[in-house]
């Protein structure tokens, strides 16, 4: 690194920062130093890199580095899954020595320079993307080359970052198997089209697989923009489900509120969420949002430590498996 510093006419510290893609070194200088390092045949010593990572991590616990959690959800909106995910992220950030700040991005920030300027002023090195208000393309939001980024959601359609998300396909296969073992042969899925797309169609895919290959009977999923009473009544009459699968607890409550779902028809949640007392109002699958948030921050800390910034060429996805919660529903006697 001393040889590179002399050739580039910069300090050894500047070389060290540039080779780790640190944002305190300007992009032009960073690229010039990296190009010179390649020309001179520089390759890092893996054992030394590991040691420096350890030393830097130790220092970070004595003075907190800054990490930002971004979302387009309104600041005052309450959604249990997102709130639990953020709780897990905060706990992991605190353990790693990071100060985690949450930024709710509005339409003005999506188009302006206020957000990039604010993050620079706060010395933010890493960004974790939280679940968004809708499906969002964030290509123009920031110059992503300046940040280490991990997404904890499928609602960011682009750019494609490394991400940590619920294993919706596995979770719903496991849910279907459990219901089948309890004697249900005709579970019926009701899901909003927007949520289906948000989850990469994994929930509907698992439901279809169970009906065709999983030992049950095929039941056409009711995918809709909203729960319209007439359409829902027709679907119930035509498909004759023995138990309903709702995308999450709020959808389960909305189904009951329509007045066309009989009390005898049990509802299972594909994404069960605990109430403030810790109890789950509906049985079903717990996606483990706390663990998703914690793992996302751990991945982000690794990226910051080794200087991985920007949009990856080959993004990786880490899938977190859920668990069944609540009592098993019983098959109604005919």
pTM above 0.75, yes or no: yes
pLDDT surpassing 50 at residue 334: no
To which residue do tokens 């709710």 refer?
104
Q: How far is CA 70 from CA 149, 218, 314, in A?
A: 10, 40, 22
Q: Where are the beta strands (DSSP E) in 61-185?
A: 65-71, 98-104, 124-129, 136-137, 148-151, 156-158, 163-166
Please, what is the average pLDDT of the chain? 89
Measured CA to CA, the distance from residue 92 to residue 71 in angstroms comes to: 18
User: Which class is domain 60-166+290-320?
Assistant: alpha beta
Beta bridge partners of 124: 66
H/E segment holding residue 323:
strand 323-325
Domain ranges of the chain: 2-43, 60-166+290-320, 168-286
pLDDT tens by residue, 15-61: 888 887 776 677 788 888 888 988 888 877 666 665 666 665 555 44
pLDDT band for position 5 (cuts 50, 70, 90): confident
What DSSP letter does each residue of 195-231 carry, written as one string? HHHHTTTHHHHHHHHHHHHSSS-----EEESS--HHH
Pick the CATH number of 168-286 from 3.50.50.60, 3.40.50.2300, 2.40.50.140, 3.40.190.10: 3.40.50.2300
Instruction: For residues 219-235, give the mean pLDDT.
Output: 96
pLDDT tens by residue, 271-318: 999 988 889 999 999 999 999 999 999 999 999 988 899 999 999 999
What's the pLDDT score for residue 194?
Answer: 94
pLDDT surpassing 80 at residue 130: yes
What's the pLDDT score for residue 10?
Answer: 85
């Amino acid at each position: 690194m001393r040889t590179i510093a002399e050739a580039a006419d910069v300090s050894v510290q500047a070389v060290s920062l540039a080779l780790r893609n640190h944002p305190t070194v300007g992009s032009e200088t960073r690229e010039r130093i990296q190009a010179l390092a390649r020309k001179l045949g520089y390759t890092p010593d893996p054992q030394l890199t590991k040691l420096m990572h350890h030393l830097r991590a130790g220092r970070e616990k004595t003075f907190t580095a800054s990490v930002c959690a971004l979302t387009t959800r309104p600041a005052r909106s309450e959604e249990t899954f997102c709130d639990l995910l953020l709780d897990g992220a905060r706990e992991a950030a605190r353990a790693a020595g990071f100060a985690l700040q949450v930024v709710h991005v509005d339409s003005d920030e999506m188009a302006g320079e206020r957000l990039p300027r604010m993050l620079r002023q706060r010395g933010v090195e890493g960004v974790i993307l939280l679940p968004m208000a809708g499906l969002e393309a964030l290509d123009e939001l920031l110059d992503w080359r300046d940040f280490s980024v991990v997404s904890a959601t499928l609602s960011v359609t682009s750019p494609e970052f490394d991400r940590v998300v619920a294993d919706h396909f596995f979770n719903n296969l496991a849910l279907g198997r459990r219901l089948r073992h309890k004697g249900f042969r005709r579970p019926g899925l009701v899901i909003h089209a927007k949520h289906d797309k948000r989850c990469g169609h994994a929930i509907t895919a698992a439901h279809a697989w169970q009906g065709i290959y999983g030992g049950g009977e095929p039941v056409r999923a009711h995918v809709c923009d909203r729960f319209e009473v007439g359409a829902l009544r027709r679907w119930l009459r035509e498909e004759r489900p023995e138990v309903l699968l709702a995308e999450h607890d709020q959808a389960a409550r909305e189904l009951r509120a329509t007045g066309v779902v009989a009390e005898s028809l049990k509802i299972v949640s594909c994404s069960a969420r605990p109430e403030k007392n810790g109890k789950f109002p509906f049985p079903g699958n717990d996606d483990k949002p706390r663990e998703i948030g914690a793992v996302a921050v751990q991945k982000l800390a690794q990226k910051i430590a080794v200087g991985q910034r920007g949009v990856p060429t080959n993004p990786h996805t880490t899938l977190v498996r859920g668990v069944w919660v609540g009592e098993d529903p019983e098959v109604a006697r005919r």
